Chain A
């Protein structure tokens, strides 16, 4: 794993954290909750190194 790949994994982890934070803090819209989860899907799969 080269340095660029490590940096991209760090960026992914940061985005997962931000989206998770938004999910927890969302107070108004169920739609926004679902959208946050949808966007999270590929990022979490990548972090877990599934595919």
Chain B
């Protein structure tokens, strides 16, 4: 090879330039903070590491917003961001933190449950790194995360993930999936410790109802639904029928399978006294046969390939040229959550949980979820928390 040294220098410089150009956006994404304003209903903010100290100082630690009512009642936990590529739940959590007040009972809200996953991405699928929500004061920027925690926090993956304590063999990837590591353990992998901390939060505070907010593909049968184990099924069914009758949208009930371990709707019910509900809203962005995975597809859910599949009756949800916009997904989560709590409060009046200031489906679809977010530049800095 002639001119060996200059060739090596040029190649090395090109390599370094590509590495830096590719690495900087990922570094910025990982360190981008999303401000959320603690509204009038937030009485205190605690951390997941308060329930599992080994999380302290790690990326996996996250905020828990506590909204305490004036009157005693039941306790609910709302978990969003279990899968950070299903962001409707996080938007609903932000909206509740900024606007909700609790009249009866106590509500705990975790907006970014898998904090590591929210700082991860899926370059192989060409995920956008961010998405924007229009608000009256400008566009609000959110990190678009991934389903699983980043390998920077938990690595290497095992060949086979053996669930604790049920010993079921699961995919290696699910060891970083916080909807496969329930109920967790204090000396396990990082994501097992995250779910263990949440279990401790539930057990120590005697939480009655737990919501885990998700999104699922339109081609996946477990979508547009409430997944509930035996003990939660009756209330889930009544809530499903009520939102259909009163608010005009479908949200059927799926039973939580007894033999599929590690999921919130199974393990929270089995390893605590709480009643779990996992809410799934359709998210066309996650379907495989779509066009490019753009921010637009994430926000409006419109895709011509899915539309043609809908004509062939291959989807599990109604789908037309209006797509499945983010406002509709957040609205469904809000209405179903409120309806389940209303039904639970009717069944157990001494454990009632009553909210004010949370809009339902029709209002969110009409006004847009962004209309409920407040401008952080005009908020009291002490009330701003970084997610």
Contacts and interface: CB of A to CB of B under 8 A. Distances in A.
Contacts of A28: 1
A33 B12 CA distance: 9
Contacts of A37: 11-12, 15
Contacts of B152: 46, 49, 51
Contacts of A8: 155-156
Q: Provide the main secondary structure of the chain B interface.
A: helix
Give the interface residue-count category, chain A.
Answer: 20 to 34
A50 B26 contact: yes
Interface string B283-302: 00000000000000000000
Contact of B8 (A5, A33, A46, A50): A33
Contacts of B4: 27
Contacts of A46: 151-152
A36 B22 CA distance: 18
B7 A33 contact: yes
B30 A51 contact: yes
A18 B11 CA distance: 18
Contact of A5 (B19, B121, B155): B155
Task: Count chain B CB atoms within 10 A of each CB in A4, A41, A44, A50 and give the residue with the most.
Answer: A50
Q: Provide the main secondary structure of the chain A interface.
A: helix
A29 to B, nearest CB: 7
A51 B8 contact: no
A4 B27 CA distance: 24
A15 to B, nearest CB: 14
Given A27-B1, A30-B7, A45-B23, A51 B15 contact: no
Contact of A40 (B1, B15, B30): B15
Contacts of A45: 19, 22-23
Contact of A51 (B1, B18, B120, B156): B120
Given A37-B11, A45-B19, 12 more contacts: A5-B155, A8-B156, A23-B8, A26-B1, A27-B4, A29-B1, A30-B7, A37-B12, A40-B15, A41-B19, A51-B23, A51-B120
Q: Which 8 A-B pairs have CB atoms at the shortest separation, nearest pair first?
A: A50-B23, A37-B15, A51-B26, A8-B156, A49-B152, A33-B11, A50-B26, A5-B155
Interface of B: 1, 4, 7-8, 11-12, 15, 18-19, 22-23, 26-27, 30, 120-121, 123, 150-152, 154-156
17 contacts: A4-B156, A8-B155, A27-B4, A28-B1, A29-B1, A33-B8, A33-B11, A34-B11, A37-B12, A37-B15, A41-B15, A41-B18, A45-B22, A46-B151, A50-B26, A50-B27, A51-B123
